[in-house]
Amino acid sequence: MICISVAAPTVEEAKRILASGPEADLFEIRLDALREPAVAPFFSLSKPLIFTFRAQEEGGLRPAPLEERLFWLREAATHGASFVDLELACGPEAVAQLRSGLRETRLILSYHNFQKTPSKAYLCDKIKEMVELKADVGKVVCMVRRPEEGLELLSLIVWARRKFDLPLVAFGMGPAGRWTRAVSLFLGAPFTFAASRTGAETAPGQLVAEDLRKVLKILGV
């Protein structure tokens, strides 16, 4: 599945992208991009949605206290979001607070590293934490400098599924990691992220949805 990440300054602009942008299986709403956060208006479009209010330390576009971020994720769940995404680094208490308010909404626990790809042992420990905190989906995304780092990240998808039965989104950021965004789906990642158009990328190395779809078609995914 392809998830288009939408980071727009206003609800109106974000809704335009959802309504008239490229086809996608999921849409991620970046609440940290909105000047005035809101969730209710997005549900009029009947699209499957992931909501995240990304922490600035992991790529968020503006500072916001944890309490505010949790509030908006709970609001999204109340309105029927398919997923909410919270950083693993927020800690067990924050995760428990968020999970206690979820019904049908599934919880993504995520780890982002915009500087490097840590050791595989370190990343496996992060995945174990996600499992212990009852994530429905895990996400591990790191900056990649060398192809072998991309391979290590992709291997986590298979490891997490076999060891914990945890669906894991994992790929590399940066030019050296672009290929992993497509290949991750071959290995069982539940979805991968793409931009709605050139210039709308929300992370280094992110492909445009139209281009990613062409690659996947050629590869037979």
Tens of pLDDT, residues 92-131:
999 999 999 899 999 999 999 999 999 999 999 999 999 9
- Report the pLDDT value the prediction gives residue 121, as an integer from 0 to 100: 98
Q: Does 127 appear as a known binding residue?
A: no
pTM given for the model: 0.94
pLDDT band for position 46 (cuts 50, 70, 90): confident
Q: Report which DSSP code applies to 123.
A: H
- Report the pLDDT value the prediction gives residue 202, as an integer from 0 to 100: 84
pLDDT band for position 219 (cuts 50, 70, 90): confident
- Report the pLDDT value the prediction gives residue 169, as an integer from 0 to 100: 99
Q: Tell me the three state secondary structure of residue 40.
A: helix
Q: Does 161 appear as a known binding residue?
A: no
Tens-digit pLDDT profile for residues 56-81? 999 888 999 999 999 999 999 999 99
Decide if 139 is catalytic.
Answer: yes
Decide if 47 is catalytic.
Answer: no
Q: Does 87 appear as a known binding residue?
A: no
Q: Which domain holds residue 59?
A: 2-219
Q: Does 56 appear as a known binding residue?
A: no
- Report the pLDDT value the prediction gives residue 24, as an integer from 0 to 100: 86
Q: Tell me the three state secondary structure of residue 28.
A: strand
Q: What is the DSSP string of 158-207?
A: HHHHHHH---EEEEEESGGGHHHHHHHHHTT-S-EEEBSSTT--SSTTPP
Interatomic CA distance for residues 200 and 33, integer angstroms: 12
Candidates 15, 47, 79, 112; catalytic one: 112
Q: Does 29 appear as a known binding residue?
A: yes
The DSSP H or E segment spanning 11 is helix 11-20
The structural domain count of the chain equals 1
pLDDT band for position 31 (cuts 50, 70, 90): very high
- Domain with residue 203: its CATH number is 3.20.20.70
Tens-digit pLDDT profile for residues 155-204? 999 999 999 999 999 999 999 999 999 999 999 999 999 998 888 788 88
CB-side neighbour CA atoms (13 Å) of 35: 4
Q: Does 4 appear as a known binding residue?
A: no
Q: Could you tell me which residues come within 8 angstroms of residue 153 by beta carbon, excluding any fewer than 6 positions away?
A: 117, 123, 140, 142, 144, 170, 171, 172, 177, 180
Candidates 139, 163, 214, 217; catalytic one: 139
| Furthest C-alpha separation in the chain | 45
- Report the pLDDT value the prediction gives residue 22, as an integer from 0 to 100: 74
